């Protein structure tokens, strides 16, 4: 009897120790800390996903492996139970069609459930601090996907959460899950296992586009990549991102036109001009409509080139391009579902 009690006490202590370690590890801001492998196959167990800088080559490839498996499982059509009994909070303080529904769908496809909160339904309307909202939501749920219009705010809020927080877009800052899904989509479209040696052309509003900030940073994990950044000078990729790429193996070309680089491109990544990030309508009007990809331009592209776009599209890809088999942007949305299923199961520590 005594030994059974002692055994139970030890087990309780072990559980408590695990809980404390977990709470501590998610409260540390992991942004500038290299990922450490507690589980060699899953570097994300109970971690926040806040920035592309968290992911080195090995981390990216581990996520891709799980995403590939999720993609395969989805195609079998069988219901999955990986996240049965778990709850995702979708905490979106900025409009979203794809990202919010993609996180919700991913959690439901894994057999879990979803609570959705936005600025109208959360107590932030009553003046609650972000810290208190995160502390509260952590009590109800197992993982939190958060979007906010202020750059850096998701990373700051995450330190108050005792559950993993996934950055679903912080203002003009980062969008790491979109960038990971972009990498997964590139691998699917080009039938490759790495991005080594590829040429990518990013076009449009590279200054405010958080998806391209994160994507460019992930490219640093691959060898021999050429990155063409095509934008008017006022909408070019931020210097901070370029500087970071210069420390990696990525060859960066800064351009205002894509005519000359399209024939060498393996990936052509269009973005919209981000109206909501401009100080005035006049400044936006001066920048919009500068680049429009048309079916005629596609004649100079490689046969296997994939056209991507994080969506929503405004007018930067002519609808005539949609019929071209190289138009990958709607398949990209499907890749996003598999990738988010992978990320949710990884941060929850569910073996796949």
- Could you list the active site residues? 98-99, 126, 147, 175
For the CB of residue 201, give the shortest distance to ligand NCD in the complex, in Å.
Answer: 17
Q: Residues 98, 275, 288, 302: which binds ligand NCD (CB under 6 A)?
A: 98
Torsion of CA 37, 246, 188, 202, to 10 degrees: 140
In which residue are the tokens 């056209």 written?
Answer: 307
Give the x-and-dash track for 111-150 against ligand NCD (CB under 6 A).
----------------------------------------
Tokens of 108: 């439901």
Q: Residues 71, 109, 148, 210: which binds ligand NCD (CB under 6 A)?
A: 210
| Cβ proximity to ligand NCD, 17 vs 234, nearer residue | 234
For residue 211, state whether it binds ligand NCD (rule: CB under 6 A): yes
For residue 43, state whether it binds ligand NCD (rule: CB under 6 A): no
For residue 272, state whether it binds ligand NCD (rule: CB under 6 A): yes
The answer to whether the bond into 312 is cis (omega within 30° of 0) is: yes
For the CB of residue 286, give the shortest distance to ligand NCD in the complex, in Å.
Answer: 18
Inter-residue contact 50 to 155 (CB < 8 Å):
yes
Please state, as a whole number, how many other Cβ atoms lie within 10 Å of the Cβ of residue 74.
Answer: 16
For residue 226, state whether it binds ligand NCD (rule: CB under 6 A): no
Which runs of consecutive H residues, i.e. helices, occur in the chain?
Answer: 2-27, 57-76, 98-109, 130-140, 153-158, 176-190, 210-219, 239-246, 281-287, 329-347
Strand pairing partners for 285?
none
| Cβ proximity to ligand NCD, 99 vs 188, nearer residue | 99
For residue 167, state whether it binds ligand NCD (rule: CB under 6 A): no
- Helices and strands of the chain, counted as H and E runs: 10, 9
CA angle (49, 45, 104) in 5-degree steps:
55
For residue 207, state whether it binds ligand NCD (rule: CB under 6 A): no
Please give the residue ranges that form the binding site for ligand NCD (CB under 6 A): 98-99, 169, 175, 178, 210-211, 272, 274, 310-311
């Amino acid at each position: 009897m005594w030994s059974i009690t002692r055994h139970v006490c030890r087990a309780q202590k072990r559980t408590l120790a695990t809980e404390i370690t977990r709470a501590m590890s998610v409260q540390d801001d992991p942004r500038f800390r290299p990922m450490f492998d507690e589980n060699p196959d899953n570097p994300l167990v109970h971690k926040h996903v806040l920035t592309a800088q968290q992911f080195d080559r090995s981390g990216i490839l581990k996520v891709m492996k799980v995403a590939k498996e999720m993609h395969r499982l989805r195609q079998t059509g069988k219901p999955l139970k990986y996240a049965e009994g778990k709850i995702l909070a979708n905490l979106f303080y900025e409009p979203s069609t794809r990202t919010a529904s993609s996180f919700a769908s991913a959690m439901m496809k894994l057999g879990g459930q979803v609570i959705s909160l936005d600025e109208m339904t959360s107590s932030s309307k009553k003046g609650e601090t972000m810290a208190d909202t995160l502390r509260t939501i952590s009590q109800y749920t197992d993982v939190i996907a958060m979007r906010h219009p202020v750059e850096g705010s998701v990373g700051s809020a995450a330190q108050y959460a005792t559950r993993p927080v996934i950055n679903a877009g912080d203002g003009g800052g980062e969008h790491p899950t979109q960038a990971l899904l972009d990498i997964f989509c590139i691998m699917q479209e080009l039938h490759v296992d790495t991005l080594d040696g590829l040429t990518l052309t990013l076009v449009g509003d590279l200054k405010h586009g958080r998806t391209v900030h994160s994507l460019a940073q992930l490219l640093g994990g691959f060898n021999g990549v050429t990155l063409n950044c095509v934008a008017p000078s006022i909408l070019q990729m931020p210097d901070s991102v370029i500087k970071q790429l210069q420390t990696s193996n990525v060859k960066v070309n800064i351009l205002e036109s894509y005519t000359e680089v399209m024939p060498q491109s393996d990936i052509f990544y269009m973005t919209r001009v981000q109206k909501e990030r401009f100080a005035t309508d006049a400044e936006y009007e001066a920048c919009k409509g500068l680049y429009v990809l048309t079916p005629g331009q596609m004649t100079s592209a490689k046969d296997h080139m994939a056209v991507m776009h994080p969506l929503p599209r405004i007018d930067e890809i002519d609808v005539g391009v949609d019929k071209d088999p190289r138009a990958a942007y709607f398949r990209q949305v499907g890749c996003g579902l598999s990738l988010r299923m992978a990320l949710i199961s990884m941060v929850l520590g569910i073996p796949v």
